Amino acid sequence: MMRTGRYKLFMTVGLAVLLIAQAVVFIAIGPEMTSGLWFLMSVVIMLAILAVGIAFVTIKKIERRIDSLPDGFSNAFMDANELIGLSSMTRTMKQETTAMILEIFEHAALQNRTVEEVTGGDLESFMEDFITAAGGDPIPLYWFSYSSLLFVGYLLMIKIYKVVRVGNFSMDHFKTETLDVGITLTYALIAYLFFPWLMIVMKKAAREQWQGLKRLYILFPFIVPIGLLSLLIGVNNEPLRSFLDQPLDVFGSPYGFVMGILVFMACILLMNYSRRKQLK
């Protein structure tokens, strides 16, 4: 777990649980969606596993160098690597910063210095200058664009699924296969509340170098999405149930769907702009 990015692994497990909860909700609400939903869920889980795999390959390339470090330095490096990975740096900047930190630790170890001497006993403060200088300290604009990207991307994905699941593809399906208020509101809260909270907790875990069972606190934010999804099943109040099940005309035409894709791309551009703004 140490070498694959322990908090990324915890997050992947949590996301898998979240997706299973989502599947239960959809199956309970619309049994006819079962087969396609499991396929959709499998794709998302595979993407999450792929992300962990990429992290594993990245660390594997420098594993010998990490293993040659004294325990204090190797543990500190893995936490530093987590902080770098959770920052808003570009991929190139993340690689360069990771290499820089590793070289600093290697030279310090050769000089028989301790990790406390190098970091001043405060890994967070030690890493702060590196991350800030590389534009990796997210500003509110970055969080907003990141959450918007997740939200719009999810709605697009669900819309695609609902349009193609009925078979005999037709442009009319964009209008007839609608989303509902409950699911849309739920995933708005997940995108704008849950994911930022999860990132904050993961950063805190890396900064404070959580050990043992305390690392499991990384799963705590998952009570939000799982609770929201469970609520969709458990609502018995008729007026509230009617409100949540009310159709919502999101991407209700091919033109609207294209506009959604453009918004998705705009979110990516906004994230890149926020990175550049951080460097100024």
Q: Report residue 112 as tokens.
A: 């028989």
Res. 15 pLDDT band, cuts 50 70 90: low
From 207, 208, 226, 205, select the one nearest 216 (Cα to Cα): 205
Res. 4 pLDDT band, cuts 50 70 90: very low
CATH of domain 69-137: 1.10.1900
Least-confidence region, from 26-35, 60-69, 121-130, 174-183:
26-35
Residue 12: its pLDDT value, please? 53
* Tens digits of residue pLDDT in 65-96: 877 888 788 888 888 887 887 777 777 788 78
Residue 258: its pLDDT value, please? 92
Domain residue ranges in the chain: 1-67, 69-137
Average pLDDT over residues 258-275: 90
Assess whether pLDDT exceeds 50 at residue 264.
yes
Average pLDDT over residues 117-129: 82
**Strongest mean pLDDT among 62-71, 154-163, 166-175:** 154-163
Residue 143: its pLDDT value, please? 87
**DSSP per residue over 66-117, as a string?**
HHTS-HHHHHHHHHHHHHHHTS---HHHHHHHHHHHHHHHHHHHHTT--HHH
Assess whether pLDDT exceeds 70 at residue 257.
yes
Assess whether pLDDT exceeds 80 at residue 146.
yes
Res. 244 pLDDT band, cuts 50 70 90: confident
* Tens digits of residue pLDDT in 176-206: 888 888 878 888 888 898 888 888 887 777 7
Other beta carbons within 10 angstroms of residue 249's beta carbon come to 11
Assess whether pLDDT exceeds 70 at residue 138.
yes
For residues 134 and 262, what is the distance between their CA atoms, to the nearest angstrom?
28
- Strands 247-248 and 179-180, sheet pairing: antiparallel
Residue 163: its pLDDT value, please? 80
